[in-house]
Structure 1
Amino acid sequence: MSRRTLLRSAGIATAAALSPALLTACGSGSKGGGNVANKGTKLTPWPTFTPKTGPAPDLKGDVTTGVEDAYLKYPSKLTKGTSGTPGDGSTLKVMTITYGTPPTARAKNQYWQAMEKALGVKIDFTAIPAADFQSKMSTVMAGNDLPDILNIGGGNTLAHEADFVMKTMANLSEYVSGDAIKDYPNLANIPTNAWSSVGRFHGGIYGVPIQRAKPASVMWINRDSFDKAGYKPTGSWTQEEYSAAVKELTKGKQYGIGSLPQGVWASSYGIANGWSMKGGMFTSQYEDPHWKDLLSYTNGLWKQKQIWPNSPTGSTVDFKTQYYNGTIQSYTDGFSALPTTLSVIHDFLPAPMLPFTVNGIAGAAYAGSNIFGYTTLNKNLSKAKIKMVLKVLDWLASPFGTEEYQLLMYGVEGVHFKYNGAGDPIPTKLGTTENVINLPFWYMCSAPQVLYVPGAQAGIKAAYEWEQQTSSKMIVNPTLGLRSDTQTSVGATISQNMTDTITGIITGRQPVSSWDAAVKKWKSGGGDKIASEYASEFAANTTK
Structure 2
Amino acid sequence: MTPNSAAPSAPSRRSFLASTAVATAVVAGGVPLLSACGGSQEGRKEGTTSGKDAKKILPAFVASNVVAPDIPSKNGSAAGFTKALPTADLKTSVPKKLGSGGSLKIMSPFWGTPPKGDNPYYKAMNEAVGVDVTWQNQDGITYDQKLGAVLASSDIPDVVVVPAWNLMGKIPSAINAKFADLGPYLSGDKVKEYPNLAAVPSEAWQRAIFGGQLRGIPMPGSYVTNIAPLYRRDLFERKGYEVPRSPDAFLSWAKEATDAKSKLWACDDMKWAAFHIYGVFPGGDKELWWNLVDGKLVNRVETEEYLEALEWTRKLYAAGVVHPDALNIKAGGTAGNRFTAGEVLVYNQNISDWWGKTAEQRTQNPDFDMAAFDYFGADGGDPTLWAGQPASIFTFISKKATKQQIKDFLALCNYCAAPYGTKEFMLTAYGVEGTDYETKKGLPVKTTQGVNEVNGAYDYTGNPAPYVAYPDLPEITQGIVEWQQRMGAFTRKTPFFGLTITEPNRWANLADNFEQLEDDTVRGRKKISDVQQAVSDWKSKGGDKLRDWYKKLLDETGSAS
Category of TM-score, reference length = shorter chain? 0.7 to 0.9
Residue 534 of structure 1 is aligned with which of 530, 534, 550? 550
* 2:220 aligned residue (211, 214, 231): 211
Q: Kindly state the Cα deviation for residue 365 of structure 1 after the two structures are TM-superposed.
A: 3.6
What are the within-5 Å matches in structure 2 for residues 327-406 of structure 1? 327-337=343-353, 340-346=356-362, 347=365, 348-406=368-426
User: Residue 521 of structure 1 corresponds to which residue in structure 2?
Assistant: 537
Question: Quick one: which amino acid aligns to residue 483 of structure 1?
Answer: I
1:150 to 160, 184, 191: 160
* Structure 2: unaligned runs, 5 residues or longer: 1-6, 16-23, 283-288
Shift of 1:163: 2.0
How far the C-alpha of 1:338 sits from its partner, in A, is 5.0
- Do the aligned partners of residues 221 and 475 (structure 1) sit closer, same or farther apart at CA in structure 2, a change above 3 Å counting? farther
Trace 1:145-184 onto structure 2 (pairs within 5 A).
145-153=155-163, 155-184=165-194
Distance 2:48 2:517 in 1: 35
In the alignment, which of 496, 503, 514 is matched to residue 485 of structure 1?
503
In the TM superposition, residue 170 of structure 1 has moved relative to its aligned partner by 0.7
Q: Which residue of 2 aligns with 1:293?
A: 308
CA displacement, residues 420-457 of structure 1 (integer Å, 9 cap, x when unaligned): 21x111111221212133xx111112222321124222
Q: 1:536: Cα distance to partner?
A: 3.1
Supply the distance in 2 between the matched residues of 1:489 and 1:343 (Cα, whole angstroms).
47
Q: Which runs of 4+ in 1 moved over 6 A?
A: 25-29
Listed as ranges, the matches of 1:44-123 within 5 Å are 44-62=56-74, 65-76=75-86, 77-106=89-118, 109-123=119-133
SS of the aligned residue for 1:19 comes to coil
**Residues 150 and 231 of structure 1: CA distance in aligned 2, closer, same or farther (over 3 Å):** farther
Does the CA-based 8 Å contact 1:256-1:330 persist in structure 2? yes
Shift of 1:493: 5.5
Give the distance between the partners of 1:126 and 1:28, measured in 2 at CA: 37
TM-score, normalised to structure 1, is 0.87
8 A contact 2:274–2:313 mirrored in 1: no
* 1:321 has 2:337 as partner: yes
- Structure 1 residue 18: deviation in Å? 4.9
Deviations 1:467-526 (A, max 9, x none): 12111322434334242434x655445332x23332333223333333321211122233
Stretch of structure 1 that moved more, 42-51 or 400-409:
42-51
1:447-466 → structure 2 map (5 Å cutoff) = 447-466=464-483
Q: CA deviation digits over 1:154-186, x for unaligned, max 9?
A: 521332223212211111112212222112111
Find out whether 1:446 has 2:463 as its counterpart.
Answer: yes
Q: Output the CA distance in 1 between the equivalents of 2:325 and 2:421.
A: 42
Which residue matches 1:9? 9
Q: What is the aligned partner in structure 1 of residue 285 from structure 2?
A: none
> Structure 1: any 5+ residue segments left out of the alignment?
1-6
Q: Distance in 1 between matches of 2:434 and 2:11?
A: 28
Question: What's the CA shift for 1:382?
Answer: 2.5
Cα distance in structure 2, aligned partners of 1:220 and 1:477: 26
Deviation for aligned residue 1:400: 0.5
Alignment of 1:433 with 2:448, yes or no, is no
C-alpha distance in 1 between matches for 2:317 and 2:189: 54
Q: Distance in 2 between matches of 1:155 and 1:412?
A: 32
**C-alpha spacing 1:401/1:222, structure 2 compared with 1 (3 Å):** same
Q: Partners in 2 of 1:436 and 1:68 — Cα distance?
A: 22
The equivalent residue for 1:250 is 258
Alignment deviations for residues 214-257 of structure 1 (CA, whole Å, 9 cap, x no partner) = 2332223223334555445xxx9223332344334322322222
Contact 2:103 2:405 in 1 (8 A): no
Q: How many residues align?
A: 520
For 1:333 and 1:152, the matched residues in 2 are separated by 23
- The secondary structure found in structure 1 opposite 2:314 is helix
1:272 — aligned with what? 281
Quote the sequence identity (%): 24
Q: Say if 1:24 and 1:484, in contact at 8 Å, map to a contact too.
A: yes
- Distance between the aligned counterparts of 2:393 and 2:163, measured in 1? 4
Counterpart contact for 1:408–1:436, Cα < 8 Å: no
Is this contact kept in 2: 1:280–1:539, CA < 8 A?
Answer: no
Which amino acid in 1 is paired with 2:415? W
**CA distance in structure 2 between the aligned counterparts of 1:70 and 1:542, rounded to whole angstroms:** 33
CA contact (8 A) 1:275 1:477 kept: yes
